[in-house]
Amino acid sequence: MVSRTTDDYEMLALAGCEVLCEPAFWAGFDRSSAAGFYDYFRQLTEYEPKRAAKYGIKHYCWLCINPKEADDPVFAREVMALIPEFLDCPTVLGIGEIGLNKNTRNELAIFEEHVQLAVDRDLPILIHTPHLEDKLKGTRLTLDLLASFSNLDRNKVIIDHVEEHTIAPVLDAGYWAGMTLYPQSKCSLSRAVDMIEVYGPDRLWMNSACDWGVSDPLAVPRCLQEMKRRHHSAADIQRIAYQHPKQFLSQSARFQP
């Protein structure tokens, strides 16, 4: 939401959105210093909750250095050293969105350190998977890395941006799967409903991608309309739109819908 206008908050409120959670992500450009991330973490934990509250929306966030900026391990660890200072903020849910961008060794190392931080503090984890041709490889690398943590609670991990060729391995491994709704890439509304119908709703949720590019904060309510058009029951729509996010996010003691 740091990339969106107040008009977007108003539209979300009119669509019935009461709670949103925002992952730490790329700012549309690579930041030049860890100090830039310090200010960004303040924006997520101090400013955005107040901006959302003006429209009756509770704003929560996740913290990390995103995969796109994690390929320089020296820089990434400078940023990671800042994170513990913010983890006790009342609106911070966990660590995310971490993961892989180009599937490099450096990204894997920083990914692993993020997971260890979350495990040490018993925090939920939100994971980004790469786009396009790197997605399947990145998903496999992600699952392999997570499997190396014997004390990881898989129910506290959601692997995001799943598509038709990656959803089954994620669900089979016992993790939650997130479908990121985008107008032009990742997952369209119809494809998301297809996956719900093929794989069932268990441990599955959908999220609106809102960023600096072409994206739609109202993608989730639009997708619910697609479910309604296909004659999904009101109970099934409520399960995907409300019960599942609430179930997963409530694993953080700070989540108070």
pLDDT in tens, 59-74: 999 999 999 999 999 9
Q: Give Cα separations from 115 to 57, 152, 243 (angstroms).
A: 29, 9, 26
Give which of 187, 228, 225 is closest to 206, Cα–Cα.
187
pLDDT in tens, 196-210: 999 999 999 999 988
DSSP secondary structure letter of residue 47: I
pLDDT for 210 equals 85
Average pLDDT over every residue of 205-223: 91
**What pTM, to 2 d.p., does this model score?**
0.96
Count other Cβ atoms within 10 Å, centred on residue 194. Answer: 15
- Give the integer Cα–Cα distance in Å for 167 and 54: 37
Residue 53, CB-side half-sphere exposure with 13 Å CA sphere: 8
- Angle, in degrees to the nearest 10, between helices 105-121 and 135-147: 40
In the chain, where the domains are located: 6-249
Q: Identify the band that residue 213 occupies on the pLDDT scale cut at 50, 70 and 90.
A: confident
Q: Which H/E stretch holds residue 108?
A: helix 105-121
pLDDT for 257 equals 81
User: Given a cut of 90, is residue 137 above it in pLDDT?
Assistant: yes
pLDDT for 182 equals 87
- Please report the DSSP string for 115-184 in residue order: HHHHHHHT--EEEE---GGGHHHHHHHHHHHHHT-TT--GGGEEE-S--TTTHHHHHHTT-EEEEEE-SS
User: Given a cut of 90, is residue 183 above it in pLDDT?
Assistant: no
Residues 6+ apart with CB under 8 A from 147: 173
**In Å, how far from its chain's centre is CA 15?**
21
- CATH architecture of the domain 6-249 equals Alpha-Beta Barrel (3.20)
pLDDT for 156 equals 98
**In Å, how far from its chain's centre is CA 112?**
17
